[in-house]
Amino acid sequence: MAPPTPSAPVGSIGVALLGLGVVGRGVFEALRDNAAIYATRSGRPIAVRGVAVHDLTRARDGVDQALLTNDPRALAVRDDIDIVVELMGGMEPAAACIEAALAAGKSVVTANKEVMAKRGPELLALAQQNGVALLYEASVGGGIPIIAPLNRDLQANEIRSLQAIINGTTNFMLTAMAQDGLSYDAALAEAQRRGYAEADPSSDVGGVDAAYKLAILASLAFHTTVHPDDVYREGITQLSARDFRFAADLGYVIRLLAVAQRDTDGALDVRVHPTLLDAHDPLARVDGVLNAVAVEGDLLGRAIFEGEGAGSRPTTSAVVADLLHLVSSGPASRGPASRGAASNHPPESPPRQPPTDPPPAQFASRGALHMRYYLRVLVRDRPGVIAEIGRAFATNNISIASLLQVEADAVAGTAELIITTHHARESDIDRFMATAGMLDAVQDVGIRIRIGSASAGSRP
């Protein structure tokens, strides 16, 4: 049910807020509590003229009931709305509401990583066709400014690689497993207790969330279209506390790393997976719920953007910043309700958007990836095992860099081999893992973790 249009200051910018969850509430309160400051900074008062919620019967302290509606699409196209702020999350009805708003000539601010990862180019093209803007800084990295720098400040650079820690839930868990010795289950329970992980954490721990965000970043950095399905993805569910102990002994820290880079032949390599980082790498020191994005360009070298990547306050910061930018950039970037209205700022073009029809990407074969690896293999503790494993590595063109044998179960007569390799092809590692389990000496090929560096892997 759509509510009656509430009164608002004359000459104000009308905002529709779709969603009043953790971030939506933060944006609503920021616009309410800082109204005078934002009006001065942007040159126009900003009025929230409608709020779309799922349940109209639920009490919401500090929110005028007259603002509420359970029809987000109708609110998004209402005549008194200039800018739509979409904070519902998920694909639908969020994508349909964004599409309807843009088609109706409304600019949109969103924090929706899934919509932008799957339909971003299409929606950006629609915004351009209608002379409005679609801004989405908050869709990646919470409050970390990275979308705008890729769109503007780094345009002079040919981006060579992008490495990112862009999921606060998994980074908190991996930090707890490394520093506090927690098991995977205990780390997840602690993340859920603190509100960092959802009741169903599969999107985070499976790497899905990070893949959405990487698709957005890679599309911008490499001026192409990357869909989440193009991103190779592994989560953190197979990691155990002992992997963190072994990694520390070897001088490494485990992080869920998102990587995008071009090969020498121009193919794009995009992947999300656990990675052993040298303990001295700046990304290895990004702990807890912090996020970081490292961008390497031909002119700039390596620059790192770091900060809180999740939660109400950092995401609110990015959403409101996009909103203020729209308001201050002039009537051309807003909808019909405000065009021709008085403003302290001259009319300008909409904020710069990425290309709406970028060339298609050619994606690199994962099997051709060439980097170092960590392997944990459970074997029978008997003479000749090392020689047998060594022959299996040699058969698959893999050279061992280090090997540590740890007694796993004296009663069962098993031991664990902790092996690091020199640079090898991923296809050779895959073949070793597929065939090693057939060896009489091997009881289980436990896990494979890629070993990263500042250059995140290369190809011969």
Q: What is the mean pLDDT of the chain?
A: 89
CATH number at residue 87: 3.40.50.720
The answer to whether position 3 is within a domain reads: no
- The reply to whether 120 and 157 lie within a common domain is no
Residues 6+ apart with CB under 8 A from 411: none
Q: What is the pLDDT of residue 264?
A: 79
Q: What is the pLDDT of residue 346?
A: 33
Question: Does the pLDDT at position 227 exceed 80?
Answer: yes
- The reply to whether 294 and 177 lie within a common domain is yes
- If you average pLDDT over residues 209-237, what whole number do you get? 96
Q: What is the pLDDT of residue 354?
A: 54
Residue 409, both tokens: 């179960």
Question: Does the pLDDT at position 249 exceed 90?
Answer: yes
- The reply to whether 382 and 264 lie within a common domain is no
The answer to whether position 361 is within a domain reads: no
- The reply to whether 162 and 278 lie within a common domain is yes
Q: What is the pLDDT of residue 114?
A: 97
Q: What is the pLDDT of residue 308?
A: 85
Q: What is the pLDDT of residue 374?
A: 97
Q: How many helices (H) and strands (E) does the chain have?
A: 14, 17
- The reply to whether 304 and 155 lie within a common domain is yes
The answer to whether position 351 is within a domain reads: no
- The reply to whether 372 and 299 lie within a common domain is no
CATH number at residue 434: 3.30.70.260
List pLDDT tens digits, range 377-402: 999 998 999 999 999 999 999 999 99
Query: Residue 304 has what DSSP assignment?
Result: E
- The reply to whether 321 and 386 lie within a common domain is no
- The reply to whether 295 and 388 lie within a common domain is no
- If you average pLDDT over residues 77-90, what whole number do you get? 97
List pLDDT tens digits, range 125-179: 999 999 999 999 999 988 789 999 999 889 999 999 999 999 999 999 999 999 9
- The reply to whether 165 and 282 lie within a common domain is yes
Question: Does the pLDDT at position 231 exceed 50?
Answer: yes
> In total, how many domains does the chain have?
3
Mean pLDDT check: name the lowest of 197-206, 215-224, 382-391, 409-418: 409-418
- What are the φ/ψ torsions at residue 314 (nearest 5 degrees)? -65, -40
CATH number at residue 176: 3.30.360.10
- The reply to whether 296 and 175 lie within a common domain is yes
Task: Name the 3-class secondary structure at 243.
Answer: helix
List pLDDT tens digits, range 271-283: 999 999 999 999 9
The answer to whether position 8 is within a domain reads: no
- The reply to whether 183 and 287 lie within a common domain is yes
Tell me which residue range forms the domain holding 97.
13-142+312-333
Confidence category of residue 45, pLDDT binned at 50, 70, 90: very high
Q: How many CB atoms are located within 10 Å of the residue 232 CB?
A: 17
The answer to whether position 75 is within a domain reads: yes
The answer to whether position 344 is within a domain reads: no
Query: How far apart are the C-alpha atoms of 274 and 238, rounded to whole Å?
Result: 10
DSSP output for 137-179: GGGSSTT---HHIIIIITTTS-EEEEEEE--HHHHHHHHHHHH
- The reply to whether 252 and 325 lie within a common domain is no
The answer to whether position 346 is within a domain reads: no
Catalytic residue positions?
A: 213
Residue 424, both tokens: 């090898």
The answer to whether position 262 is within a domain reads: yes
